[in-house]
Structure formats: structure tokens, C-alpha cells
Copies of this chain bind each other. A is one copy, B any other.
Amino acid sequence: MEPVFIGGAFREAQDPVGSFRAVNPATGESIGPDYPISGAADLDACLEAALLAAPALRDTDPAQIAAFLHSYAAGIDAEAASLAPLASAETGLAAEGRYLANELPRTTRQLRLAAEAALSHSWTLPVIDTQAGLRSCLAPLARPVFVLGPNNFPFAFNAISGGDFAAALAARNPVIAKGHPSHPQTTQALARLAAAALVSSGLPAAAVQLIHDLPRQLGLRLAGDRRLGAVAFTGSRPAGLALKAAADAAGVPAYVELSSCNPVALLPGALEERGDAIAAELLASCTLGAGQFCTSPGLVLLVDGPATRRFVEAAARHYAAAAPGLLLNQGVLSSLEESLRALTAAGARALVQGQRLAGAGFRHGPTLLSSSGASFLAAAPALQREAFGPATLLIIAKDADELCLVTAALEGNLTGTLYSTSDDEQLYRRVAPLLRDRVGRLIEDRMPTGVAVSPAMNHGGPSPATGHPGFTSVGLPASIRRFAALHSYDHVKDAHLPLVLRNQNPGRIWRSIDGRHTQEDLP
């Protein structure tokens, strides 16, 4: 049985309640060694060790945090050639095109940006009010953060290497990572690299810990432990809401990134101008990673008319001609089929009915569904069920008014996209504000699947896409602020202040002093 990583040591699970292995989605066969499903003893050991590490980590020089993140990123880069095929075998995504060319560089860049943010203190928002004798900044929670990663990004969102991990650690909080059981070998390989970086950077041994899986009830128990600093989760709506409920009841902030249909409104002028190209873009976006992106375009909003009809025909041709997608695991395949049945039962009509491919692992053909605006309005919640995988539902409104009603009936989403030309300006001005309030990121004239690691990114959005509309899980320094406490200092002597708030500012940290942003010292 593979070990867990607790208190700085790879050691046997103390009281495992079961075990599991990875499954190669291309064949359906189990691969690699056994991994433990941890019991209460492992969880308790993790929590105790993290609680002890928390104050030390809070007081750690940010340079040391940065050294860890840089060293870890370098380790991942150095091992990229072995990590990529490992992840590919566990996820069915291409070692070269997906991992080496994209997700791995993105992951290490994210770790390095987190290192920069830790060093620059850019996440701390220091404020000085010289008149009132008050100073404030964001500071470490000084408590463990429980991070649960999703199935779909084994590097960039992994609980032990992804955005939540980097952000929690940049704020100098210990991370208790729960890997996703869909890619344990990848996660374990990352843990080995993280362990080496912990040693070389001299961070507390329990700054990063890993368990591979655990029973649902134990996860809820940890999330609901009052000693925890925060919970960060990316994954399915039911699992995330259960964790959030447990954390909420304990007064623990929970950041959950759940589900999203990512509506794309294609206005008539844009379709008139380049409907065929947009149909190709839609297919490419919908089938990227076999449709298993949080921001995959699941819902397309249209207004009936000649250009729209041509677009629908073109899209149907594209979807019908596209190869089946290889899905992450049996669960994703079953859930996709279930969602497609539910959407059909709610009134959606199949234009292209993708099928499960028998005997070839977890493959499913791209699926294009369609509904009238009126049908959507009559069954708006049911038709906004996320179909995670290569599937898109077109909503064809009869006119501009109905398009507005459809947009207003949308639930909270991560992204909302508008394709338009200057001919569409009037309609844009009606639809955009409705869409804007229902999404975290508004996109123009490009598909939503790209999620840049940028300080101006919002990978978040209104409920039920996430648990709070004010936070992003991607993009630094904003994502770090989720794992921080606001600290105010009232007439505290300069020598007793944290470095970011002292009169002297040798690090040239950006601070708001009496309403002015500056990198200067205070006299």
C-alpha cells in the first residue's frame, strides 16, 4: 500500500478503511499500486501536525515560502517528462498537447507567481491611517487550510500543486491536501517533489501534508472542525455543498467552486458575419479536454433567424463529425449520460446524440441539444443542469425580448460570453448587463475555456457556481486573500508592527497611506 504524507514523512496509513487504485480511462483497467482510504487516525494526525506548524509558518520569512514554491516548481519542471505520461495514463488526456505543452507550464508558472506574491506582499492590502493611528493588513489565518482537488486538472488544480494550494501557502498557512482518487499516482509523484522542496527550503515539515482519499463523513468532520482556517474545494455541486455546510456550521470559511454551464450568447450580427467560424470555435471549446473544463460552454443562447439557423446546421455538422471524447473515469461517463437523459426529459431535443462507445474505455461522443426559449423558460432550473463532458445545449429564443428573458433566468455561472458585431450593439446593451450580474467573468468574442493566471482573472461567480461572489480561485494575488484574516493595529508601536505596516518600507511594498497608494516610507 502506498504511503500518505503526514508530518513530513511518507508513512503507512494508520487505520485505513479501504484502498483503491487508479484506472486507465482508455481501457477501464486498474493501474498502479494500491492507495489507502484514510481513517480518522490519519486525519487527526494531519490536523494536529498542521495546527502545530501553523504559528511557525505564520512567522516564516516570505522569502522562505517563495524558496519552497520556486524549488517545488523547478522540481516539477525537471520531472515533467515523467509526470506527463503518468497523468495521461490516469486521465486519458494527452501527455504532450495537454500536459507538457499546457497544464504543466501553467502549474509551475502559478507556483512561481504565488512566490512573487508572497515576496511582494501584494495580497496583504496594507492600509495606514496616520491621523487615526490605525494600520491594517491581511495576514495569515495561522490555521490549516483543507484543500480538496478536482478530477479534471491533475496539476493546475491538484490539492497539492494547484491554485488553492499555492494561494493558501503563499498566505503562510499549512495545507492539508486531499488528492483526487482519479489520479493518485500523479498526486503522489507531486507529493514527493513537494517533500523535497519542503526539506530544501526548511519550511515546517507539516506545512504540506497529503492524504489520498477518505470517507465522506471524515471529510465533513475535518471541514467542520473549528480549529481549521478554511476549506477550498473544486468539484461537484453535492460534494462541495456538503463540505460548505459543515464548514459554515463551524464558522470556517469555505471556498467551493462547483458547477457552471458557461452561457455563450451569439448575437445575430456575429453569426451573420462569421457563423461558420464560430461553430468551429464552439466545437473546439466544447471538446477541449473532452469537455471536462469548469468553463466549458454548456449553454449557447441564440435568437432565431436565418444566420442562427445556418449556425445551428454548421454546429450540428461539426459535432456529428467530431471524434468521441475520452472521459476521466467511469463516474464522469455515467454522470454525463445521466445529465443528458435529464436534459432530454426536461424538453431538450438532440440534434447530435453522442453515444457511449462500447468496449473502449470511458468514451462518449459530442452531443448537441436544442431547446426553444419558451421551453427553457418553462424549465429553467432543469435545463441548467451541468452536463460535464462534451455536450452543449442551444437555446433558441424567438426574438430579442425572449433572449433577455432567457438570460435573466440564468443561474450563477463562472463565465458568460457574448459574440457580437457593431450591428448587435443595441441587443448587446440589453443582454450584457443581465449576463454580467450572473457570471464571474464576462468574455467577448472568444470561447470561455481559457482561464489565464492573471491578477485580473475571476475564476469564481455567483451561487451556485461558487459559494461566494467576491472571490476567485485563480489569479494572484486575489486568490490568496481567501486564506487571510484582516488584522488592524490600533496605536501599536512601530517595532511591534508586522513589516508591511512599519514606517520604513525597504521592500517597497505598495500601501495605501491616507488614501494614496505609494511604495514610500513613512517619516
Contact = CB atoms under 8 A, between A and B. Distances in A.
Contact of A490 (B132, B245, B442, B496): B442
A471 B138 CA distance: 10
Interface string A126-145: 01110110111011011100
Contacts of A135: 456
Contacts of A129: 452, 454-457
Given A127-B455, A464-B251, A487 B245 contact: no
Copies in the complex: 2
A291 interface: no
Contacts of A260: none
Contacts of A433: 55, 58-59
Given A251-B464, A456-B136, A512-B455, A446 B488 contact: no
A75 B457 CA distance: 42
Interface string A459-494: 010111001111110010010011011111111110
Contact of A442 (B55, B251, B442, B488): B488
Contacts of A143: 437
B463 A470 contact: no
Contact of A446 (B452, B467, B490): B490
Contact of A486 (B469, B484, B489, B496): B469
A510 interface: yes
Given A454-B129, A455-B127, A484-B470, A443 B491 contact: yes
A518 B433 CA distance: 28
A443 B134 CA distance: 9
Interface in A424-470: 428, 432-433, 436-437, 440-446, 448, 452, 454-458, 460, 462-464, 467-470
Contact of A470 (B132, B138, B244, B492): B138
Contact of A444 (B456, B485, B487, B496): B496
Contact of A253 (B244, B448, B469, B481): B469
Interface residues of A, number: 77
Contacts of A445: 491
A486 B510 contact: no
A226 interface: yes
A489 B475 CA distance: 13
Contacts of A441: 487-490
A487 B442 contact: yes
Nearest to A466: B251
A493 B444 contact: yes
Contacts of A518: 517
A471 B433 CA distance: 28
A250 B475 CA distance: 27
A101 to B, nearest CB: 18
Contacts of A139: 436
B470 A253 contact: yes
A437 B510 contact: no
**A143, A432, A456, A491 interface centre (most CB from chain B within 10 Å):** A456
Interface string A485-523: 111111111001000000000000010100101100000
A218 interface: no
Given A136-B457, A515-B122, A436 B59 contact: no
A58 B446 contact: no
A12 interface: no
Given A440-B486, A470-B484, A136 B58 contact: no
Given A249-B245, A452-B134, A468-B253, A489 B442 contact: yes
15 contacts: A58-B437, A129-B455, A132-B452, A132-B457, A134-B454, A134-B457, A139-B436, A142-B437, A244-B248, A251-B467, A432-B496, A444-B491, A444-B492, A458-B488, A478-B486
Interface of A: 55, 58-59, 122, 127-129, 131-132, 134-136, 138-139, 141-143, 226, 244-245, 248-253, 412, 415, 428, 432-433, 436-437, 440-446, 448, 452, 454-458, 460, 462-464, 467-472, 475, 478, 481-482, 484-493, 496, 510, 512, 515, 517-518
A-B complex: 10 closest residue pairs judged by Cβ atoms: A251-B463, A458-B488, A517-B517, A134-B456, A469-B485, A248-B248, A441-B488, A132-B454, A443-B490, A136-B456
Given A244-B248, A455-B512, A510-B512, 18 more contacts: A127-B456, A129-B454, A129-B455, A132-B452, A136-B455, A136-B458, A136-B475, A139-B436, A143-B437, A226-B463, A245-B249, A432-B496, A440-B486, A444-B492, A446-B490, A448-B490, A471-B486, A472-B486
